[in-house]
Amino acid sequence: MNRAEKAALQLRAVDVLRMLKETRTYDELAETTGLPAGDLNRYVNGHVLPGTERAREVVEDLGREALAEELAARIRVDDEGYVDNSATVFDQPFLDLAAPVVANGFDFERPDVVLTAATDGITLAAALASYYGVRCAYAKKSKETAVEEFIEARQRLQSGIELTYYLPASAIDPGESVLVVDDLIRSGETQELLLDIVRTADADVAGVFALIAAGEDGIRRARERTDASVGALTTV
Ligand SMILES: O=P(O)(O)OC[C@H]1O[C@H](OP(=O)(O)OP(=O)(O)O)[C@H](O)[C@@H]1O
Ligand SMILES: Nc1ncnc2[nH]cnc12
């Protein structure tokens, strides 16, 4: 890790600690993290930065667990198992904080593009693309006007409805590495269509990520379609 990467990691750890501190006293934060309350106070107030090893532990281990908890607290599941996650996908600052934790806590390759499906995946994809400093692309259920060439992926869903996603062909170049993300994965049909788009573009899959897995089917299905790392932050 070079100096700039170390500094970025240390600052990310401070962001995670500040998020945790919002709902905790320093003593409670000390209990959650296993770090001394005095040190935590200095980190949160910006007087001292945590060392790189501590920062890594906060971002990769603690951060992931804390984010999963925060996410679970924001989700509402109705009687039929449908998930209301608007408290998450409408909160860009929360997703911006989640991005480094996701990027460091899962075994994804560094992507050239983050790809999602409109609509609800877009804010997460934007947060991850911004973290990596790469492009964000989203496939839509209709063709964007004035775009001449599209990559299309079509599938007949379990419901019998045919679903087609369209991505402007210029969005992904052959050989690029693509991180496929979405806010939610249930059947895995949407992820499968996105993976088809990556294949049609002659690109590689850097990983597949969803904030929420509704059941295990979608994750299993995505794993059957790629050797890249596939994961979700929380399962309901
Ligand atoms: O794993 P699956 O069964 O395919 O379900 C997951 C997809 O469903 C939701 O999108 P939806 O199709 O409702 O579109 P929206 O984002 O525009 O609401 C969600 O944002 C995922 O894209
Ligand atoms: N909000 C939602 N909850 C559960 N499954 C879904 N599939 C598509 N949207 C969904």
Give distance in angstroms: CA of 91 to centre of ligand 1.
18
Give distance in angstroms: CA of 23 to centre of ligand 1.
31
Q: How far apart are CA 76 and CA 87, in angstroms?
A: 9
Ligand 1 pocket test, pick from 80, 164, 182 with the greatest ligand atom count within 8 Å of Cβ, gives 182
Contact 135, 116 (CB under 8 A): no
pLDDT digits (tens, 9 = 90+) for 24-56: 899 999 998 999 999 999 999 999 999 999 999
pTM confidence score: 0.89
**CATH fold of 87-235, please?**
Rossmann fold (3.40.50)
Instruction: Output the pLDDT for position 45.
Output: 97
Give distance in angstroms: CA of 60 to centre of ligand 1.
28
pLDDT band at 62 (very low <50, low <70, confident <90, very high): confident
pLDDT digits (tens, 9 = 90+) for 107-142: 899 999 999 999 999 999 999 999 999 999 999 999
- Which residue's CA is minimally distant from atom 6 of ligand 1? 185
Give the bridge partners for 27, in sequence order: none
Task: Say if ligand 1 is within 6 A of residue 192 CB.
Answer: no
pLDDT band at 94 (very low <50, low <70, confident <90, very high): confident
Nearest to 112 by CA among 32, 204, 230: 204
- The helix (run of H) or strand (run of E) holding residue 200 is helix 189-200
Question: DSSP labels for 126-186?
Answer: HHHHHHHT-EEEEEBSSPPTT---EEEEEEE-TTS-EEEEEEEGGGS-TT-EEEEEEEEES
Contact 110, 206 (CB under 8 A): yes
Boundaries of every domain in the chain: 3-74, 87-235
